[in-house]
Each structure stands twice: as C-alpha cells, then as structure tokens.
Structure 1
Amino acid sequence: MHMQATCVFSLRSRHRLAFLAAASLLFAPPAGAAEVKRNDLSAEDITRVEHITRPTTDFSKPERYEAMPGGAATSRNPVNPDAFSHASANLAFSEEENFKLGNALFRKLWVSSPSSTQASDGLGPLFNARACQNCHLKDGRGRPPEGNADATSMFLRLARPARTSEERQAVTDLKVVNFPDATYGAQLQDMAVPGVAAEGRVVITYTEEPVTLAGGEIITLRKPQYSVADLNYGPLGIDTTLSPRIANPMIGMGLIEAIAAADILAKADPDDRDGDGISGRAARARDHRTGELKLGRFGWKAQNASVRDQSSSAFAGDLGISTPDTPRHWGDCTEAQEECRSMQNGVQTRLGNTEAPDPVLDLVTFYSENLAVPARRDVDAPEVLKGKSLFYGAGCIACHTPKYVTRRNAANKAQAFQLIWPYSDFLLHDMGEGLADGQQVGDATGREWRTPPLWGIGLTDEVNGHTFFLHDGRARNLTEAILWHGGEAESARNAFASMTPEARQHLIRFLESL
C-alpha cells in the first residue's frame, strides 16, 4: 500500500460522502462487526484502510509510519517537559493564531466577581482550580495529592444511584447521567472565593497488598480508600458515592474526535458473541448544544461526545465559569448552598450572556483539539520490538486497539484521513471489582471505564514529574497499572504476571516508547 512520506493519506478525493451519523448507529446496534461500514470512504479506500489498520504479526521491525502516532499532526519537537504543548505539525498557518489564543485562555487565571479585570471574573464561587492549566499541568496527566502536592489535578465526583423507576428511566434515556448529591452537587469543591466556605477536602488512605509474579518478583499494590473531611455544608447523602478522577492528558483529542464512529462501534461486542471474554460497550452522550445522542469518546467514563463538550463541562464543574453550552454562572453550587447561588457572577453583558462567552470556548476547544501527539522513541530498539510482540500476544490489543485512519471529512484538515496510533478502542469495559467506583455515569456502570489511549504515556515523568496512572493515580508505575487490571482485562493481566521478569521489562519498555 502506498502512503506519502508525510504519514497522511492524500486529502484530495472525489469520495467525500456524508459522515455516518453516530446516533443512527447507536440506536440500531449492528448484529456483527462486519456489518458496520464507514460511508466517508470509497470501496477502494475501505480496502486500503482495513489493510493498513490490521494488527501486525511481524515484530522483526517497526511498522511503516509507526514512529508518527499522530500522523502528519505528530510533533517532532525535542523531548522535554513541554512535549505535550506543541500544536499539530500540519496545522494551517492561518490557524496558528487561534491555537496561541486558545493556549492563553487555557492558562488564564480566573478571579472572583466583581473585579476590575472584568473579562476574567466569574470564578466559582466554589471551584477546584483557577485555570485549565492548573489541572492539566503542561497539558499532561494529573496526580493524587501526596507529599507536597495539592489536590488541584484530582477531585471527587459525587453521585447517588437512581431511587425510583422514573429516575432509572431518566438515566436509561440519558436525560441525566446520574444524580448529584443534594447538598454538594456533582463534585467536591475544595476551594472557594472570599466570603464562601469551601465544601471540604478529600482524604485518601492506602493499604499495601503484595502480589507475587513469575520468577519470584514481589510487587506491592496500594489500595486506596476515599473519604471527605471538613465538610462545611452538612453531611453527604447516605447513598452518595465518591469517585476520584485525575486529569487526563490533552494530546491528540482532535484526532480522537476524527475517528469514524463506525470504526469504534465495529469493535463493540456487548454480549461477547465471539467468546473471548471481552465485551466492550459503546457509550452514548448527549451533545450539550443540541441534545442529540452521539458516541461518547471523552472522559474516564466516555460521558462526553466532543472536545467542546468536555471543555464546557470542565469550565462549569472545575472553574465555576459559565459558557454558552453550559450556562451555569454558579458552577456546581446547589440550591442548598444559598450563599453561593446569591453571589455576583462575572457576566459582562457587553461581551455576552455568560462568563466565558464566545469566542472563549471556541478558542479553548480549538487549542485542545490541536495539541500534538509526540513522535515515538526507539521504535526499532530490539527490546521495544520484543515488548510490542508480548503486548500483542498477551491480548492487550483486544481493548487497546493500536491504530485507525481518521475520517476524510473531519472538521479540520489537520485531522482528516490520518493514520494514527492511540492504542484504545474508546469503549466501556468492566475492569473488575478492584477498580470499581460504584458510580454509574450514563451508560457506564460502576465497574466500567473507557479504555484510555496510551500514546504519550511513556513521557509522563518527563512532562509531569511523576508516574501515577489509572483513574485515581493509585498505580505508581506502569507495572502496577497493569496488575490492577481485572474483569475483562484479567486474562491479559495474568499473562503479564506469568511472564519472565525479562519479558515483563520488555513489555514495559514498549509502553515507555509510546
């Protein structure tokens, strides 16, 4: 198969068909993967795409273009702490200004109202961070609070289960994703503007659990327990669940949105018809502006369908800033928090009807869509190739799908028809009781999580100065992260645990090269 040296399929095509609406697929699940086809491609293109995205069986050398995980958008900049903060390499010159403006807004510190800054006020009144960058430090991965670190890049989601048949139906219909705590809302806010009391703080205690691996190696896993302290508005609801979440890396998000919904849905096997023990499910999510049901792709439980929806949720929940898509001036303040609800907001009517009116959300979304995936390192190193073979052989790619070719008709040409390597199926999987948070979020149960993409995972320490992984950062390294896998991933986890120590190191070395 011929591909240009830029790692991008030719963008010139007479076959620019309308993109297959995700909602129509979600409401009529296919009987089998073979029945799910893309309609943005010609028959010839489909054959090419199926060929190039087929998992390799040759581990003697790197695959063609494997070193460019983001296709032509891949960043070739030097590896350093800014490795996640570069623009897509193929971004049009005319769009660079929007990227830089979005970057400035992403780093912007919001302040409480009223303020002489005007366009920067509206923070909170209750909040978890003053800027997007505070959670996604250097556009990278968050961490749990320990040592001298604070809880800025980690917070607790709060939710209770449905109590009535009407509430259960509302979740089924995705009129709501769950029900927040009546007093404290959808997440615990550990900061507040002057004159308002913060809600409380997260408390984490760990117990150590030794695991013996093949070859006699003993790994200690730390099992967290979560509680809250210093609650300032009374007790939590008796059935409120606590789900810790660290901030996800920001790279490659526009490319993820450009993956054809058909390619993700084709991998769903909710009834495990093939009997492999893997039953990934597609999550549905409602578009914040239209209410249309779409394929969920973003967030730990795939609760958002687009980068824009993910961004507006963060503005409202994390910063307490209203946007045109989520116009809650009071953020996550509940009706039980009267003082919070009554405080002055930051709306400047000459600029718009929300605290972050257009084009603020537009620019932050554009920035988030165009943060480049860094180039791979050492793809031809013998130990990396051995580790890749072991990763594939252990069955890890049953969930961590290596590669896709994005839609020809993606909204931005920088993301269109690119061969990308995110290593994720973006589906929901039961990860076992060990990782269960007991909290339903839309279609995701209390045991299910979206498969996170792995690209850039090997640069976590370089960018963020730590190696904490999984949704709550409990894993202190990649080995621990793998050993926490259960449920549908238990077979792959056991395959890793039964490898020789040298083989395990090869597999980890492969992950570090991503």
Structure 2
Amino acid sequence: MTYRLAFTAALLLAAPAMAQTLDDRHLPVLPRTPAEAARIARVLAPPTDFSAPEKFEAKPGGAATTRAIATADAFSQSSENMPFGREMDFKLGNGLFRKTWVAAPSSTKASDGLGPFYNARACQDCHIKDGRGHTPEGADEPRVSIFLRLSVPGGDPVPAIADYIATSPEPTYGGQLQDFAAPGLTPEGRMGIDWREEPVTLADGAVVSLRHPTYRFEAPANGPLAPDIQLSPRVAPQMIGLGLLEAIPAADILAHADPEDADGDGISGRPNIVMSAEYGVPMLGRFGHKAGAPTIKEQSAGAFAGDMGLSTPLHPDPWGDCTAAQTVCREAPHGQEPGIRDGLEVDAQSLDLVTFYSRNLAVPERRGLDDPQILRGKEIFHQAQCAACHVPKFVTNRLKNQPEQSFQLIWPFTDLLLHDMGEGLADNRPEGRATGREWRTAPLWGIGLTEQVSGHSQFLHDGRARSVLEAILWHGGEAGAARDTVVNLPTGDREALIAYLESL
C-alpha cells in the first residue's frame, strides 16, 4: 500500500494537466481532519479474525442500507437515511426512470423525442427492476438490456490524459448498434450471438461448462461496416449503491493503483481517466464496465443519448447516436420545441431527478453473515487474494447537503480500477485508457440477490457466466492466480466461498 500511495503522488506531480482534475469536484466535499483520517485507516484495515463478522459488516451501504426484502423489488428501495423532504425527488426520478418515451411528432409533448434509432424506450427496460440485464434466450428474442458498442481504431488524441487510446465511432453506425427505429425508419441492424460450450474440470472432479460467445452485426441497413470494426457487448448493470461509489474519495481509489506491480502480488490496477462532458476536464472514471464515465449524471446522460436517442444538456443533439452518414435519421422529426423542456427532450431538471434516483437506490443488508460456512468462505476470499481487486470497504467523503452518502462506511467489494482480465474476457476494444483486455472491477454487493431481482443469475460484462462459479472461472490475467486457487479448492471450501459471495 505504501508504494500505491507513492504512485498516487507521482501521478499528481508528473501530469499537472491531469492532476488538477483527479479530485472530487463533482461533490460538495468537507475535508477530513487528521483524526478522522487516522480512524478511517484503522477501520479499513484487512480482517485477521474470521470467527465472527466485522463490526458494521451487516450494513454494506452504511446508514443508507435498506432491509433485505424477499421480492423482485429488493433493488428498488431508497436510501434508508434519506430525509423525508427528499423522498419526493426520489419518486419523481423513479417515474422518469420508468417512463416510456414515444417518437416525435406526438400529442404527448412531455414524452416525445425517442430515437430516431434506439435500444430501449425506458431506462427500466434495460435495468429491469433496477437489476442486471441479460442475454437473449433465443434467436428471435429482442436484445433489450444488451447491445453492441462499436468503434474503429484512431481518432483525436487527448494530450491531457496519459496513455489515452484514441478510437472513433464506426463511421456509418456510430458508437453502438441500435436495433429499434421510429415508425417509417429501418433499424440499423441486429446483434447475432453464437455460443460454444467448454467443459472445465475442477480438482475435486466436478465439471463446469463455460459458454463462449461470438458476436456479429447482422443485416446492416446502411451498407457494410468498417473493415477494422471493434465490437463489444454490454449488459446493463445493476443500479444499487451508485451514489456511494460516486462519493468514495478519488485519492482513496488511486491509493490502490499499482500499474507496474511494484509490490509483486500480480495485481496492477490502473485508473481510467476520461474527459468529462460536464466539467470539460479529465476526471477519474468510475461507472460503466470499463469505468468510462466519471459521474452518475454523465452516465445517465450518455444512456439517454445512446440508448434512447434523447437530448439532454450534456448531449443536446436530438438524433442521439446517428452519424452524419445517416441523413434520414438526422432529418427525422425530433422532440425539441422552443419553450418546452428547455428546448431539449430531457431537460436539466429531469436529468437531475434521474441522477438523484440513481444515486439513492439502496444496497440491501447482508444475510446470514454469521453463518460458520459463510465466515469460512470469507476467510477463503481473503486467502485467495480476491480482495486485492474486490476491495471490501471504503469510507465515503463527508459531504455538505448530501446526507445519504456522507461519511459512510461501505462494503462494495471493488477498487473501481482497471485490471487485465486475460484473453478469455478480452473484447479487444479500448475505451479511454482501458485496453481491450482491461475491465473495471465489478462491485459485488447484492450479487446474491440477482436471481431474485432479475430472474436470472448471469454475470460479467455480457452475461456469459450463468453462475457465480462460472464468473470466477472466466477470470484470467491478473486474476488468474485467484481463479486457480478456486479451481483447486476442496469441495467444501469452494461451496463456502460461493455461499459467502451469495451473502453479499
């Protein structure tokens, strides 16, 4: 950890253009006192006793944690510590999140402007019950909640971001495949998926089958794709705890980075640093499968534009992801009208309400954390070095006028950094500083409630893993040693590890 703190200081000193933005300018931060910093360091120390749960471990979202309920609404509850006066904003944001948009022109002036090309008509269509998306079960099932990112190598450099990898949207089809269109228009195409099963034998003789996907852009409506096209699938992630992740001090995230693996543990996490659409400067990426967005607001605005073709203050073009080559799309009717919604399709107030809702979807409390099997699984989790990337706990910034996320001990099980996950998970598509083999460490809180909320147990960036164990077996690269440890575990210890993860 000493080296990693030194890396943070070196990063800030070596790149002044970057250094001035690797902060928490998106938050109303109240500085920590030296006494608080010392107390936080003691609280965040790794456990050494696995005979009982740690103090406050039952509340992964701190005071914002909600009680666990045995229904599909477990991820749709508001922060438990939300003041009563703010609950209306949460409910209004929920209404906008669930709102079904329609194509223009329409008599429904408050809801028109969808598309012209799009992937979904509502945020909730992808984040079903605020949970994870899924892969299609059959060839004819709509691809809602999963889509293909598109890019080609090259593009404008960003000198302010070290190690930035320039890419550009596909010249004809833009940044993602949109498989729905407004009336009278033809969708861009369709995602095709082929699956191949591969059996993996564990040390105790158990056999687990991993499914390998191959993705295609089928039936392109506007001619062939660029020959150097880069395709990458994306399943919508769960929504809980986003505001708490946003409130982690940037310095505390950077303290876990070790890009040269100077401590020799095989783990070399790196921060993704991205240009902020709101602030106009490079910022630490936190959200998305490759940490390509710095704030919840920017992630939300990007989804409005790319997934639904809706304009916002951060992306004011009414045609969403349509390129200059798609003239029919750009010339189609849109929902921008003077004097209505700030002349946009999603005005500033609506974007803020959706951001507030997304920020305050609560993490449910832990279940069974004092069960002996689960405690044994926790010990194995740490022994296998899973916690090197899935960092269990942080303390959020102390914040002014944002009580739900202010100064909370949280247990997200992520470092929000990029890690090389090996060739098996590589999409070979860079994003910002992230290479085609790197992915942001996914938070694990709530993972055991996935099937209850979403009706499936699919994991990883494209849902290829059908269980927690399959997800572990897909780990490679920096996580290869941890995966091999799990492969070689006795049956009882492996079951204990899975039980622990499913209690999160």
**TM-score > 0.5, shorter chain as reference:** yes
Contact in 2 for aligned 1:118/1:348 (Cα 8 Å)? no
Partner residue of 1:358 out of 348, 357, 363 = 348
Alignment pair present for 1:461 and 2:461? no
1:340-374 CA-to-partner distances (Å, cap 9, x unmatched) read 00011101321212111121100000000000000
1:262 aligns with 2:251: yes
1:247 corresponds, among 233, 236, 253, to: 236
Seen in structure 2, the aligned counterparts of structure 1 residues 26 and 401 have a Cα distance that, compared at 3 Å, is: farther
Alignment of 1:111-130 (within 5 A): 111-130=102-121
Q: How does 1:368-383 map to 2 (within 5 A)?
A: 368-383=358-373
For 1:411 and 1:467, how far apart are their aligned partners in 2? 37
1:427-446 correspondence to structure 2 within 5 Å? 427-446=417-436
Find 2:323's aligned residue among 334, 338, 356: 334
* CA distance in 1: counterparts of 2:483 and 2:477, whole angstroms: 10
Q: Could you report, residue by residue, the CA deviation over 1:456-475 in whole angstroms, capped at 9, with x for unpaired residues?
A: 01000000000010000000
Q: How many residues align?
A: 484
Task: Please say which of residues 280-289 and 314-323 is displaced more in the overlay.
Answer: 280-289
- Which residue of 1 is the match for residue 472 of structure 2? 482
Q: Quick check: 457-466 or 212-221, which moved more?
A: 212-221
Determine if the alignment matches structure 1 residue 211 to structure 2 residue 203: no
Equivalent pair of 1:128/1:189 in contact (CA under 8 Å): yes
Q: What is the match of residue 5 of structure 1?
A: none
Report the 3-state secondary structure (helix = DSSP H, G, I; strand = E; otherwise coil) of the residue aligned with 1:158.
strand
Report the equivalent of 1:292.
281
> For structure 1, which runs of at least 5 residues remain unmatched after alignment?
1-19, 31-37
From 380, 393, 411, give the equivalent of 1:403: 393
Normalised TM-score (structure 2):
0.93
Query: Matched residues in 2 for 1:364 and 1:176: separation?
Result: 31
Deviates more, 1:312-321 or 1:139-148: 139-148
Q: Which residue of 2 aligns with 1:47?
A: 38
Map Cα deviations across residues 300-321 of structure 1 (whole Å, 9 max, x no partner): 0101000000000000000000
Return the alpha-carbon distance in structure 2 between the equivalents of residues 270 and 424 of structure 1. Answer: 17
Which letter does structure 1 place at the counterpart of 2:271? A
Please give the alpha-carbon distance, in whole angstroms, between the structure 1 residues aligned to 2:358 and 2:93.
8
2:222 equivalent in structure 1: 233
1: distance between equivalents of 2:350 and 2:330? 24
Return the letter of the residue paired with 1:114. Answer: P
* Alpha-carbon distance, 1:174 to partner: 9.1
Task: State percent identity of aligned pairs.
Answer: 54
1:182 matches 2:174: no
| CA–CA distance in structure 1, aligned partners of residues 366 and 205 of structure 2 | 32
1:41-120 to 2 correspondences below 5 Å: 41-120=32-111
| Residues 222-255 of structure 1, C-alpha deviations (whole Å, 9 max, x = no match) | 1111112121111111001110000010000000
Alpha carbons 2:156, 2:166 under 8 Å: kept = no
**1:221 and 2:232 matched:** no
Q: State the alpha-carbon separation in 1 of the partners of residues 411 and 442 from structure 2.
A: 12
Alpha-carbon distance in structure 1 between the residues aligned to 2:86 and 2:320: 31
Kept after mapping to 1: 8 A contact 2:30/2:397: no
Q: Partner residue of 1:424?
A: 414
In structure 1, distance between residues paired with 2:296 and 2:13: 20
| Alignment partners' CA distance in 2, 1:88 and 1:269 | 33
SS of the equivalent of 1:94 reads helix
Q: Kindly provide the amino acid, as one letter, of the partner of residue 446 in structure 1.
A: G
CA distance in 2, matches of 1:119, 1:195: 22
Q: Deviations over 1:100-133 (max 9, x none)?
A: 0000000000000000001100000000000000
- For the Cα contact (< 8 Å) 2:157–2:164, is it kept in 1? no
The answer for the alignment partner of 1:157 in structure 2 is 149
Deviating more after overlay: 468-477 vs 139-148: 139-148
Deviations along 1:207-230, one digit per CA (max 9) or x if unpaired, are 111111111111111111111212
SS in 1 for 2:214: strand
Please tell me the residue identity of whatever aligns with 1:337: Q
**d(CA) in 2 for partners of 1:214, 1:425:** 30
Contact 2:127–2:239 at 8 Å: present in 1 too?
yes
Partners of 1:145 and 1:25 in 2: CA distance: 47
Secondary structure of 1:235's partner? coil
One-letter amino acid of the structure 1 residue matched with residue 304 of structure 2: F
Distance 1:178 1:149, change over 3 A: same
* Distance change in 2, residues 1:169/1:296 (3 Å): closer
In structure 2, C-alpha distance between the alignment counterparts of 1:376 and 1:149, rounded to whole Å: 34
CA RMSD of aligned residues (A): 2.0
Q: Please report how far the alpha carbon of residue 194 of structure 1 lies from its aligned counterpart in structure 2 after TM superposition.
A: 0.4
Instruction: Give the match for residue 290 of structure 2.
Output: 301
